[in-house]
Amino acid sequence: MKTKLFIITIALTMLGMACDPIEDTSLRNEFAKTGTPVTSAELTKALSVTQPIPNSDDKVEGDQYVVINNARKDIAGTWFVNTPTGIKQYHTDYDTIVYAANGTYDIYFVGLSEKQAVRSETFTISVTNCFDEYMTFLSGAKDKADKTAKKTWKLLNHPLAFYNGMYGAWKYYDMTPGQSNYQGGGSVLTADDFGKYMVFEIADSKLTIYDKNNAVLNTGGWGFSHDDRGEQIAGEVIASVPLIATEKRWQNFAGTSTPYYILSIDSNTMILCLPGTYNRTGEDWDYDASYYFFVTEE
């Protein structure tokens, strides 16, 4: 009987030891604070964020090249670089970042000093030299140095290449002319409208509207944005003069203050919408809009 009791006592003792884990201090020792870290100002002084190539209108290269450098090799860390698609991390002391879009961006560095994280001050850079794909779509320019580029646009050869209708139609219907019931009502276009064309030039962002006999009807300027307004809109074409068929719109056109929404755009086609108002509070069908289908001249 005593033997059995002794065995049970040993088992309980071993069980108690198993429930009391031995502390692994290796991680704690590795990251334990060992002294006074550098200050944020001291760390910032050891860093540089530069744009070594100045912006120049006649060169493709420019301020989209950004060089980041950490001169304190004893302080390892990570660069946090703001980009058009979010924050990217660079685990390096030195690197060159090539931005793909113009804008203002923040960059900062988080280093490990005396086993403590220290964040630098924020560097703010402005990128102005990038060549946007919409420039290529609209003017045909290959890059920023392509100063003589120009592109001709005209109405799609279809009776409903322009029509007035419900705002937001692209969210509910096939936008192909003639394929949607809401496009009913007949064409308001004439042979003169199909003979007109417009030329977008990269130089000075010049826009010229011509009639079918190549006579100039209007001249002005053009621009664009990538503002999607949260409505499946690809951006805006901003023109100081009305585009082809705009005189047949239901809506008010007031130059650059009334941009055309870009519903779709590529190298050969462009679908635009001129909304009746830019401040909507009701449902889409409470408002109207005009639609334009343009193609490049072959």
**Residue that is written with structure tokens 């660069």 in the block:** 79
The predicted pLDDT at position 108 comes to 98
- Phi (first) and psi of residue 150, to 5 degrees: -155, 155
Choose between 33 and 233: higher pLDDT.
233
Tokens read off for 153: 């646009």
Tell me whether domains 35-127 and 133-296 share a fold.
no
Strand duo 47-50 + 77-83: pairing: unpaired
**Confidence check: pLDDT of 47 > 50:** yes
Q: Rounded to an integer, what distance in angstroms lies between the CA atom of residue 92 and that of residue 1? A: 70
Topology classification of domain 133-296: Lipocalin (2.40.128)
Arithmetic mean of pLDDT over the chain: 87
Count of other CB atoms within 10 angstroms of residue 135: 21
**Confidence check: pLDDT of 235 > 70:** yes
Render pLDDT for 89-106 as a digit per residue (tens, 0 to 9): 999 999 999 988 888 999
The predicted pLDDT at position 2 comes to 40
Sign of CA pseudo-dihedral 175, 180, 185, 188: positive
Longest dimension (CA), the chain: 119
Count of other CB atoms within 10 angstroms of residue 259: 20
Render pLDDT for 188-220 as a digit per residue (tens, 0 to 9): 898 999 999 999 999 888 999 999 999 999 999
CATH number of 35-127: 2.60.40
Q: What's the rounded mean pLDDT across residues 155-160? A: 94
Structural domain spans, the chain:
35-127, 133-296
Render pLDDT for 116-152 as a digit per residue (tens, 0 to 9): 999 999 999 999 888 888 999 999 999 888 889 999 9
Work out the pLDDT band at 17, boundaries 50, 70, 90: very low
Work out the pLDDT band at 29, boundaries 50, 70, 90: low
SS3 84: coil
How many alpha carbons lie under 13 Å from residue 226 in its C-beta half-sphere?
A: 8
**Residue that is written with structure tokens 């879009």 in the block:** 101
